[in-house]
């Protein structure tokens, strides 16, 4: 039997919107011609249903009825034979002239959650354009129509901003619902919302779950915007002493070898903020190799990170590598190497006399390093780097954040790791 349910329908709509996210205006024109944004979103939503109707009409109609049984849906079903190859044109015409069609289309967009699927894939100026353009188009309908769409188009940034401001007064003592809200905020279309969510998570008073740390790492390494990347990286640093998933930190090693130079740089930044917690042998050795990276920003970030890795980096091989980095042609790399070299030499001088005095291979250095561990230097990506990324490949696909419902994604947020 042909399988077509709401989940399959939603997934297929999400795949269509992946192309839209790369260049929204161009994609609308190429795929649908000179149509409105609302028409394009309606076409993206309806096309998977029409394809399913050709294969198994009974299954398709049953799935449609599970979304909405309003009488206005009948007008859509009656026009199916004439819509298969001209969906956008028919929708554009009917949305302008028919209140029945406007209600049917609204039911579809809400039932499949198309607006959220689209906003989830957009960032920066494209997200702002999407929000404003759709609001203008919906406002052209009579006041008693598109009620549900109007509600979903409220300014998300303002609503989130108010909530996050209130949470700031709680000093990190969040409820389960607030944690879920923060987790969802990390995937919002607004860079400002994602950054604010990361900052509030960095203030969390108890032990964060593995899912929460994993999501912060994704934002710190892969977000398209500078502000949320830096905010997530700093949040990881603030939570470092309460991270109970060391394998997530060790997994960062593979990102230090990523083909994308932006990912390598962001990973080194995150490690710098994690400080001594991340100072394992394999991470220190990987950072040393990055001192010879072809990209100067990556070399600078690696140099910064090594200075925050603690005692395990205060050894001859690392100091020798940083000494060679002093000869780097890039002034920022030279400065970062000098600062880290100074810090590691001080740690080594503190460590060696204690070894000679006790005759042991290790010493109780924790007290001397506590201040450094608790407040490692915060490393942020330069704004010039952000400009490079925007210019490098504007059409590059963003990491897939998944198309599952938020309930699925957040069901394990408060795992045993969050025990207070």
Better pLDDT: 227 or 412: 227
CB neighbours of residue 99 within 10 Å = 13
Burial class (CB in 10 A: 0-12, 13-18, 19+), 178: middle
Measured in whole angstroms, the distance separating CA 371 from the mean position of its chain's CA atoms is 31
Q: Per-residue DSSP letters for 306-372?
A: HHTSGGGG-SHHHHHHHHHHTT-SSHHHHHHHHHHHHHHHHHHHHHHHHHHHH--SS---HHHHHHH
Q: What is the spatial distance between Cα 28 and Cα 134, in angstroms, rounded to a whole number?
A: 13
pLDDT at 352: 65
Mean pLDDT of 65-77: 80
Distance CA 92, CA 83 (A): 12
| Contact status, residue 193 vs residue 225, Cβ threshold 8 Å | no
pLDDT at 332: 96
Helix orientation angle between 57-67 and 37-55, rounded to the nearest 10 degrees:
140
- pLDDT for the residue 403: 34
For the chain, the 3-state helix, strand and coil shares in percent, each to the nearest 5, are 70, 0, 30
- Going by pLDDT thresholds of 50, 70 and 90, the confidence category of residue 398 is very low
Domain extents in the chain: 6-152, 161-397+404-418
| 164 confidence band (pLDDT: 50, 70, 90) | confident
pLDDT at 177: 77
Distance CA 301, CA 257 (A): 14
Structure confidence at residue 47 (pLDDT): 92
Query: How does the average pLDDT of the chain come out, rounded?
Result: 82
The tokens describing 391, both together, are 């210019």
Q: Which residues of 80-94 are buried (b: 16+ CB within 10 A; e: fewer)?
A: beebeeebbebbbeb
Q: Would you state the pLDDT for residue 370?
A: 41
Average the pLDDT over each of 93-97, 167-171, 303-307 and give the range with the smallest value: 167-171
Q: In the prediction, which pLDDT does 407 show?
A: 35
What's the pLDDT at 290? Answer: 97
Lowest mean pLDDT among 70-79, 104-113, 309-318: 70-79
For domain 161-397+404-418, which CATH number applies: 1.10.357.10, 3.40.1080.10, 1.25.10.10, 3.40.140.80?
1.25.10.10
- 254-282, pLDDT tens digit by residue? 999 999 999 999 999 999 999 998 999 99
Q: Is the pLDDT of residue 397 over 50?
A: no
Name which of 185, 143, 142 is nearest 163 in CA terms.
185
31: closest CA among 18, 213, 110? 18
300, containing H or E segment:
helix 296-307
Share of the chain above pLDDT 90, in %: 45
The rounded distance, in Å, linking the Cα atoms of 410 and 177 is 10
Tokens for 236? 């990881």
The distance in angstroms from the start CA to the end CA of the chain is: 49
Per-residue pLDDT at 137 exceeds 90? yes
């Amino acid at each position: 039997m042909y399988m077509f349910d709401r989940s399959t329908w939603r997934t297929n709509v999400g795949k269509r919107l992946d192309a839209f996210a790369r260049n929204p205006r161009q994609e609308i024109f190429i795929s649908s011609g000179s149509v409105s944004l609302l028409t394009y979103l309606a076409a993206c939503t309806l096309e998977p249903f029409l394809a399913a109707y050709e294969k198994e009409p009974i299954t398709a109609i049953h799935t449609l009825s599970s979304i909405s049984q309003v009488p206005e849906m009948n007008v859509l079903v009656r026009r199916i034979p004439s819509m298969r190859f001209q969906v956008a044109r028919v929708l554009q015409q009917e949305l302008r002239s028919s209140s029945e069609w406007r209600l049917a289309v609204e039911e579809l967009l809400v039932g499949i959650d198309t607006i959220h699927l689209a906003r989830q894939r957009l960032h920066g100026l494209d997200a702002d354009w999407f929000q404003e353009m759709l609001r203008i188009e919906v406002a052209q309908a009579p006041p008693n129509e598109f009620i549900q769409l109007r509600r979903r188009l409220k300014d998300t940034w303002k609503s989130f901003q108010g909530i996050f401001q209130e949470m700031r007064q709680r000093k990190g003592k969040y409820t389960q619902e607030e944690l879920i809200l923060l987790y969802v905020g990390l995937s919002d279309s607004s860079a400002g919302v994602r950054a604010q969510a990361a900052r509030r998570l960095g203030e969390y008073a108890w032990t964060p779950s593995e899912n929460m740390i994993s999501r912060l790492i994704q934002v710190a390494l892969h977000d398209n915007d500078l502000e949320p990347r830096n905010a997530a990286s700093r949040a990881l640093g603030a939570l470092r002493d309460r991270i109970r998933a060391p394998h997530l930190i060790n997994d960062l090693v593979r990102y230090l070898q990523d083909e994308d130079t932006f990912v390598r740089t962001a990973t080194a930044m995150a490690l710098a903020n994690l400080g001594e917690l991340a100072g394992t042998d394999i991470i220190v050795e990987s950072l040393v190799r990055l001192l010879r990276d072809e990209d100067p920003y990556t070399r600078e970030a690696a140099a910064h990170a090594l200075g925050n890795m603690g005692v395990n980096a205060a050894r001859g091989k690392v100091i020798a590598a940083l000494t060679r980095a002093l000869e780097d042609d890039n002034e920022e790399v030279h400065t970062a190497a000098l600062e880290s070299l100074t810090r590691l030499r001080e740690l080594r001088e503190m460590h060696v006399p204690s070894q000679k005095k006790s005759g042991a291979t290790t010493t109780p250095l924790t007290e001397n390093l506590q201040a450094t561990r608790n407040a490692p230097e915060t490393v942020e990506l330069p704004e010039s780097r952000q400009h490079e990324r925007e210019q490098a490949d504007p059409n590059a696909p963003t990491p897939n954040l998944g198309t599952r419902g938020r309930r699925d994604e957040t069901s394990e947020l408060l795992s045993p790791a969050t025990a207070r």
